[in-house]
Amino acid sequence: MVKPRTEGFIYLAGFIACIPIANWLIGHAGTTCVPDGPCLIPVAPGLAAPSGVLMIGLALVLRDLVQRRLGRMWSLAAIVVGAVLSGAIAPPALVVASTLAFFFSELADFFVYTPLQNRRFVTAVVASSLAGLVVDSIIFLWVAFHSFEFLLGQIVGKAWMVLASLPFIHWLRIRDARIGLTRPPVAPGRR
């Protein structure tokens, strides 16, 4: 079995990897690519979204897992690093939108997840991810395109990734309880 702290760094690496993958997908992969716009994927019948939604939905869940294994300070540091990385690698036309959407959506996720995590881990992951994905979708679409044309598609696409992660989150909760890891780490000097 992987040690909890090592597992946390694996989640951190996955979280950070989601950022360049999402930015690459938006400009390069989809069933259709809008000229001077995003590449789109279908997320429901008659509903499309920029292809990066899949990685952003996953990033929201991974951030929660980073916090669960490494603590709040690591989680907040990951948000800052992620926002800087998002801005550094985003296509020039999307730098501001990508950075702002990432930063504020992850903070929304953090502020919803943190108070719920000790009592209802699975609920905390779902609720915080939903809050984060709505914030991300609104900010990204408005700043990048001054339009909410793909808002519903963005929300649905990210929600699919959160939904897909639930079996793993449920398994993790059960495994953590079995091995006595039911609470996230506490910062040194705090009890």
Judge whether residue 78 has pLDDT over 80.
Answer: yes
| CA–CA separation, 191 and 181 (whole Å) | 16
Cα-to-chain-centroid distance, residue 9: 16
CA atoms in the 13 A half-sphere facing the CB of 55: 21
Dihedral sign for Cα atoms in the order 15, 82, 125, 190: positive
| CA–CA separation, 50 and 36 (whole Å) | 13
Judge whether residue 75 has pLDDT over 60.
Answer: yes
The predicted structure's pLDDT at residue 176 = 86
Residue with tokens 């994905």: 133
The predicted structure's pLDDT at residue 164 = 94
Query: Averaged over 175-183, what is the pLDDT?
Result: 78
The structure tokens listed for 188 are 């040194």
CATH number of 4-178: 1.10.1760
The predicted structure's pLDDT at residue 1 = 62
Q: Helix (H, G, I), strand (E, B), or coil: what is residue 50?
A: strand
Domain coordinates in residue numbering, the chain: 4-178
Judge whether residue 6 has pLDDT over 50.
Answer: yes
| CA–CA separation, 35 and 151 (whole Å) | 19
Judge whether residue 186 has pLDDT over 80.
Answer: no
Query: Averaged over 50-69, what is the pLDDT?
Result: 90
The structure tokens listed for 150 are 């793909």
Q: What is the pLDDT of residues 120-157, one digit of tens each?
A: 899 999 999 999 999 999 998 899 888 898 899 999 99
The structure tokens listed for 20 are 């360049």
**How confident is residue 28, by pLDDT bands cut at 50, 70 and 90?**
confident
Cα-to-chain-centroid distance, residue 128: 10
At residue 107's C-alpha, the angle toward residues 41 and 156, to 5°, is 25
Q: pTM, whole model, 2 decimals?
A: 0.85
Query: Averaged over 186-191, what is the pLDDT?
Result: 50
The structure tokens listed for 187 are 């910062």
The residue among 12 and 23 whose pLDDT is bigger is 12
Burial class (CB in 10 A: 0-12, 13-18, 19+), 35: exposed
As a whole number, the mean pLDDT across the chain is 87
| CA–CA separation, 172 and 111 (whole Å) | 21
The predicted structure's pLDDT at residue 191 = 44
Q: What is the pLDDT of residues 79-97, one digit of tens each?
A: 888 888 887 877 777 788 8
The predicted structure's pLDDT at residue 115 = 93
